[in-house]
Amino acid sequence: MKVLHVNTHDVSGGAARAAYRLHQALLSVNVDSRMLVQYKKSDDQTVSMVASDKVGKALALIRPAIDSVPLRFYRNKTPTLFSPAWLWSNRLISKINEMAPDIVHLHWICGGMVRIEDLPKIKAPIFWSLHDMWAFTGGCHYNEGCEGYLDKCNTCKVLGSDGGTILSRWIWKRKNKAYAKMPNLIVVGLSNWLRKCAATSKLLSRSSIYCLPNLIDTSKYKPMEKDIARKLWNLPPNKRFVLFGAMSATSDPRKGYNQLIRALGNLGKNIELIIFGSSKPGNANEFLQKTHYMGYLHDDVSMAALYNAADVMVVPSLQENLSNAIMESLSCGIPVVAFAIGGNGDLIEHKKNGYLAKPYDTSDLSEGIKWVLNNKDYEGLRRSAREKVLREFDSRVVAKKYIALYGEVLCS
């Protein structure tokens, strides 16, 4: 069985890391897996770039900027990512078909990587793991509560135009036309929440939709002695630490930085905060607590040590699919506090391995943090966190489910 994973990046970003982990897990059980990307940062020889020549690499760097040109007409657009996906992608499609895989597994394919109209030109059966909502909207990656995707995206909250937008409607119609030529498209919602959203969307009504999660190598993300982890990060051994982090942790409103500020405002100064995924912002004095900014982390060893240095992880995202940060933290045996939204409930079992706060209620988020930090059976929470991941998200467990689904499609 030859499987080709297609993603804009190989190791940069949450979707890329998730796709790469699946790719590695399949290789570990002798599946002939390859990965095709627009940007390559790793030195993995099983990962190929669409264009490896100098001109192709240079064009790859500017494709996101070119693809986003239509957004310049929407001055009231929110910070949520929006992808028109109109840029030519003949080279990508040719490369996929030349590699002749048995399965093409699409992941996050925006950033100017693919033109919607070119997807039906892929000859092999297509699986598509949804890392966000983009596949079934008129261009936004998260809908900010707008339900326009249920019909035709005639209005778009993200574009800041309630009176109707040519762009979102145009993209929706293009997807509808392309998907009509892909009746055997297999859609994989990584969380139960996203699977339900996809199933209710009009665009994916023709597709078979499954729910299979991301996976994690539990031999890399595992518990370690807290004193050792803190020594590695030069953190004091006798403090209680709250951990927060994500890509663009302090600048992306969806990640809940402002909600974190309000939640920690209800807590005292006897705890300290650790933030990763962002440099120290200009408004860094907004927290009452002493704050340690760790910047961007790129390797599993550093990440696992940082999770283990904390007492509790807080993920205050306003919309979330299946958070890598939550999964990684739980795998290290660190309880997580988050809002009861999106796919968070797939990972966090309320008051068993963490705390699910009422959606967007920062007071309840504070209560969750206190509940974890002051829990008399804190070690029990840690064991439950680790056991949840071992049972449901370990790379060997999940890889078997993907292989079974691949085989089912190939035999049908």
3-state secondary structure (DSSP) of residue 355: strand
CATH number for 226-392: choose from 1.10.3720.10, 3.40.50.300, 3.40.50.2000, 3.40.50.1220: 3.40.50.2000
Residue that has been written with the tokens 């009861």 in this structure: 340
Chain mean position to CA 233: 26
pLDDT average, residue stretch 5-16:
93
Residue 52 pLDDT class (50, 70, 90 cuts) = confident
* pLDDT of residue 164 exceeding 70: no
Intra-chain end-to-end CA distance of the chain, in Å? 15
Residue 301 pLDDT class (50, 70, 90 cuts) = very high
For CA atoms 295, 317, 358, 160, give the dihedral sign: positive
Percent of the residues in the chain that have a pLDDT greater than 70, as a whole number: 98
pLDDT on residue 286: 77
The domain spans of the chain are 2-215+394-411, 226-392
pLDDT on residue 126: 97
* Other Cβ atoms within 10 Å of 76 Cβ, number: 9
* pLDDT of residue 284 exceeding 80: no
Amino acid identity of 92?
L
* pLDDT of residue 285 exceeding 70: no
Q: What angle do CA 356, 360, 363 make, to 5 degrees?
A: 75
Higher pLDDT, 248 or 160: 160
* pLDDT of residue 24 exceeding 70: yes
Output the average pLDDT for the chain.
93
* pLDDT of residue 274 exceeding 80: yes
DSSP 8-state assignment for residue 92: H
pLDDT tens figures, 367-380: 999 999 999 999 99
pLDDT on residue 158: 93
C-alpha–C-alpha distance, residues 203 and 149, integer Å:
8
pLDDT tens figures, 336-387: 999 999 999 999 999 999 999 999 999 999 999 999 999 999 999 999 999 9
C-alpha–C-alpha distance, residues 32 and 406, integer Å:
13
Task: Please list, in sequence order, all residues whose beta carbon lies within 8 angstroms of the beta carbon of residue 312, skipping any fewer than 6 positions away.
Answer: 241, 242, 243, 334, 335, 336, 337, 369, 372, 373
pLDDT on residue 154: 86
> Per DSSP, which regions of 70-173 are E strands?
103-106, 126-130
Name the residue among 227, 232, 193 with its Cα closest to residue 209: 193
pLDDT tens figures, 53-92: 888 888 888 999 999 999 998 988 999 999 999 999 999 9
Residue 20 pLDDT class (50, 70, 90 cuts) = very high
Tally the residues of the chain: 412
C-alpha–C-alpha distance, residues 344 and 365, integer Å:
14
Q: What are phi and psi of 278, to 5 degrees?
A: -160, 145
pLDDT tens figures, 140-149: 999 999 998 9
pLDDT on residue 298: 80
Task: Please list, in sequence order, all residues whose beta carbon lies within 8 angstroms of the beta carbon of residue 412, skipping any fewer than 6 positions away.
Answer: none
Q: What is the CA radius of gyration of the chain?
A: 21
Q: What are phi and psi of 307, to 5 degrees?
A: -60, -45
Burial class (CB in 10 A: 0-12, 13-18, 19+), 328: buried
pLDDT tens figures, 230-266: 999 999 999 999 999 987 777 788 899 899 999 999 8
Query: pTM of whole model > 0.95?
Result: no
Query: Which CATH code for domain 2-215+394-411?
Result: 3.40.50
Mean pLDDT lowest among 187-191, 234-238, 281-285: 281-285
* pLDDT of residue 163 exceeding 60: no
Percent of the residues in the chain that have a pLDDT greater than 90, as a whole number: 80
Chain mean position to CA 278: 17
pLDDT average, residue stretch 28-42:
95
Q: What angle do CA 234, 235, 240 make, to 5 degrees?
A: 170
Backbone torsion region of residue 160, taken as left when φ is above 0, otherwise alpha when ψ lies between -120 and 50, otherwise beta: left
Domains 2-215+394-411 and 226-392 share a fold: yes
